[in-house]
Structures are given as structure tokens and as C-alpha cells.
Structure 1
């Protein structure tokens, strides 16, 4: 049995559940109020956990696979295998000070106090700069600490910067960039082909994002011109149309961002019956 630890709530929960559903592993008869949930595969179950706890759960073998933020993996120094960047949940750990502070760079904080929920990442950042600072670990409301005299600056997670502005803070440095990753217990990964199947299924969904399947009928004499227009991954697939030898069926995978211009160019070459279809998964 393979156990996958996923965030039980917060900003990472819904995108994680959606991605797994698209990969063919929807949550069955479970939810954030339950600890475990079944999937469509009888050999795979979900464990709902705090995103911050998932790296250690995977490291210690309580879960074979996990989905959580890179910042949390680095902060806990979990000894896990990093399988895949899932390309969502992007955020930065930023160094910020009160908006009326004269401080404009990290180098000016030598000997001062920095509050954070990420003491390991923060300490490593300042050590790399050769600066001696006092790291104050807090468990919440980090943005308030400079205003009540607890710290001179903070290192906190920021995705849009809105929270900083709301709390009259300004960013002076980016400390760490994070997104959500698929991770695995090192021993579990070695012993299980099923984990490889999970990685492949999730990766196939990521490959398909931003792609479209393009189908059309093309006059045989226009095929070479159509090939030059199509920005496909590996060239189009060309098939004969049984009812008309002068027409070819052409299929290709293209970037969704290029669809508008590509369809217009294809019509100019004589392509017709053009069909654009979303792609759910692309296997390597």
C-alpha cells in the first residue's frame, strides 16, 4: 500500500486535490475532516496532514509520497527524494521592514533582530551574507512583530505582496523562492514501481497544461506549407482521407498561446474543418 500525504487545508489543498484528480487519482469518501481517504487505485491511499508536517512524515516513512512547498522541505531539512516541481503554489520568502524604516538592504541588519516562521532558511540566508543577526522564531502574525518592538525586520511568505502593504511593510530582499513539489521517502522510492507510476501520471497532466490538439483537413498540395505554419512538438501526424485522395487529415499538438495566430495562418493555406481540442494528459 502506498500512502500519499497531501495538505489538509490552506492554499495548497484545492490545487493539489485537483491535480491528483486530473492524474486519475481522485479523493474518494474523504475530506479534510478525515485523516485518510481512498483513491480509485486500491493500492494507494491519501493521508491528510498539515503542509508543514508533510516533509517529516515522508522522511520518517509515515507516508511514502508527499506534496508540499519547497520552502517547508528546506526549512525542515527533510531527507527526501525530490521527484517533481508541480508548477503551482509559487511564493517567495521575503525580507521586509516597516515602510518608514531607513533600511534598504539586508547588510544594514547586522546585529539586529529578524522574526520569522522559517528560522532555518533565515539563519542560512544571513550566514551566507556573513551577517550576525538574532533570529526570533514566531508561529504566526509575523508581520506584526516590527510594529510591537519584537523585531527590526521579518522574513515571511509572500505571493502577491498585498499582506506586506496592508501591514505597512516594504520588501527589501528576496530570500527564497518556492513552489509545490512531489517528494518521496528514499526507501519507498527504491522499492516501489507504484511511486514511479504516480510520478508519471502527475507529470503527464503537467505536460498537457498549455497545450492543445489541433486537427484539420488539408489539400495534399498544401501539406508542406502547413508543416511550416504548425509549431508542433515533433511535427504533425498526416493521414489520408479515405473519401478524397486529394485531402489529408493533419493532427498536431501546439501551444495554446499560439492557437489564435496559427489557425489564421492555416486557413490561408487552405486548411479547413479545423478542430481545437484540450488535452488532459501527455505521456512522455
Structure 2
């Protein structure tokens, strides 16, 4: 009997990114036998194995074909590709996932006279992202020294290890507490789904199925289903107000010749202003509900 082929995906083993990645897979209908103490987590209802590893190791798991999919921060992938001498060039992003948002930025002490990127000429910059920083400096023709640090980059100016820093920023509170001011953004980052070159057609088909489910979940999370009643003579104005809706369903209302029911999937934000605009154009009985699943 032929052994079942299983798709393998690498995700971060701990932290908020790990939790959100697990939640995303579960929303895709994949039931997991969780064990955070182990490297491997097997799906119970889908031929999928999940490797729980350090985020820095995920590109290597993909490059060596231990795994065929990976979820990690875009910053981590691009940094590995910047430093990997072509080792990670074959990895490609399939889609952004909308969580784990942060930015890689230049930050300077309050008393640093920063006028533009040219102010970094001749300075020492501390960072954990040497590859991305070196590319950025080269693109702007800046001659500066880079000091690589694995952690606590924000203390480098206070300890005179560097003049300024290049580090990941989320809320900015860590910079403020260390007397630093964010100046230039090198990269806007978020969690991304990444793949390698999958040669096995069966594994490729499984990867496509998982990717399709993730796309459906993300689309559903960003969409809303709107139901309302509209006067026939206001229908075009109401359709113009519906956010991100291309082809709403219009149905007759029983016993009413002057009204129709309108149902629409809206792929943009539906806010109170939107509902008030719909009402101002004659709509009533407006109902907005979330969408759990949506597949084209």
C-alpha cells in the first residue's frame, strides 16, 4: 500500500505570530493535534504536517525542501535572501496574511541632527538586519559602518556602540523608552505565506488547496454581507454606495411593487457612515453580518 504523501509547512514555534498562524490554519478547517513541546504537529483531517521552529530557521527548512510552505515575517525572508548568496533565491511569496505587521526603520537619539538619509554618512549603525540595511545604504549611496547585534539593538546609542540604529518597530514604545526617534522606514512588513519550488504534482496540489483555503479565509475576514430593502427608483444610487460590491443580488419583495431586496458581499469596510449613506438614499432594514467562509 502506497504511503500517503503529506504537505509540510513551517511556522514559528512560539509568540503571537505562531498563535495567529495556528488560528489561520484552523479557520481553514484543518484540525491539529497540538503539542508546542514537539517539533512536529500533524493535522488530523488533512495530509499536512506542521513544523514548529524558530522564525530564523523557516527559510532554511524551505530551501532544503524539508517543508514546502512556510509562514514568517516578510522582513525575515528578505533578510535571508539579502544575505544568502542565492541560497534562498528560489523562495517566493504567495500572499500577505495581514497580521504580524511591523516596519524596519532607522531611529536616532533625540540630540542627533538628522536632516536626511545623507546624515548617516560616516556614522555607525547597529542592527539585526545587516543585509537589508546594507542594501538600503547602497541604494542611497551612503557610506556608513554596520554593527550587527542579535538583540537589544535600541541600547546601542546609549552604550556608545553605535550612533543610530536600524530595527523593527511595531508600536514605537520601545524607541520612546530608549530616547530614540524613528526617521526613515526601510521596509513595511507583515506575515507572508512562502513556498519553494514544488516538483511533486501531488504535493503541489495539496499546497494549492491550502493556499486557496487561506485566501478564502482572508477574503471572508475582510468582507461583510449586507442585506437591505431599497425603493426601485433609488436602486442605482444605493448600488453606488455599497462599498466594494460589483454585482449585488436584487430580488422582488412580496406584496411590494415599489421595493426590492438587495443582498451584496462587500469587500471593503462597512462603517456607520456607509449605513447612514444607504439610509439617506432610501434604504431600510439594513443588516450587516460577518462572513465565516467564502470560496470562489
How far residue 40 of structure 1 moved from its aligned partner, in angstroms, is: 4.4
Please point out which of 185, 203, 206 is paired with 1:174.
185
User: Is the contact between residue 36 and residue 47 of structure 1 (CA under 8 Å) also seen in structure 2?
Assistant: yes
Deviations 1:19-72 (A, max 9, x none): 22222224x221432211122433112111111211221121111100001111
**Counterpart check, 1:184 vs 2:195:** yes
The question of 1:42 aligning with 2:53 is answered: no
Q: Hey, what's the Cα distance between the residues in 2 that align with 1:234 and 1:82?
A: 28
1:204-248 residue CA offsets vs partner (Å, 9 max, x unmatched):
12222332112245566765565455445222112355x647464
Cα distance in 1 for partners of 2:112, 2:285 equals 63
CA contact (8 A) 2:244 2:268 kept: no
TM-score of the superposed pair, with normalisation by structure 1: 0.87
TM-score by length of 2: 0.84
Q: Deviations over 1:245-271 (max 9, x none)?
A: 746443111256335344445556665
Q: C-alpha displacement at 1:131, in angstroms?
A: 2.4
Alignment partner of 1:115 out of 106, 123, 126: 126
127-136 vs 138-147, which deviates more?
A: 127-136
Within the alignment, does 1:98 sit opposite 2:109 as a pair? yes
Question: Does the residue aligned with 1:194 lie in a helix, a strand or coil?
Answer: helix
Contact 1:112/1:152, CA 8 A, preserved across alignment: yes
Partner residue in 1 for 2:85 = none
Is contact 1:226–1:269 with CA below 8 Å preserved after alignment?
yes
Q: 1:230 to 1:132 in 2, by over 3 A?
A: closer
Q: Is 2:79 the counterpart of 1:68?
A: no
Structure 1 residue 189 displacement after superposition? 7.9
Q: Does 1:89 align with 2:94?
A: no
CA distance in structure 2 between the aligned counterparts of 1:103 and 1:262, rounded to whole angstroms: 43
Q: How does 1:143-222 map to 2 (within 5 A)?
A: 143-187=154-198, 192-217=204-229
The count of corresponding residues between Structure 1 and Structure 2 is 282
CA gap of 1:264–1:31, structure 2 versus 1, over 3 A, is same
Q: Deviations over 1:131-169 (max 9, x none)?
A: 232221111111112211222221110012111111111
Evaluate the alpha carbon distance shift between residue 160 and residue 228 of structure 1 in structure 2; reply closer, same or farther with a 3 A threshold: closer
Residue 259 (structure 2) pairs with residue 253 (structure 1): no
Unpaired runs of 5+ in structure 1?
Answer: none
1:2 shift after superposition: 0.4
Runs of 5+ consecutive residues of structure 2 not aligned to the other structure: 1-5, 82-87
How big is the alpha-carbon RMSD for the aligned residues of Structure 1 and Structure 2? 2.6
SS at match of 1:183: strand
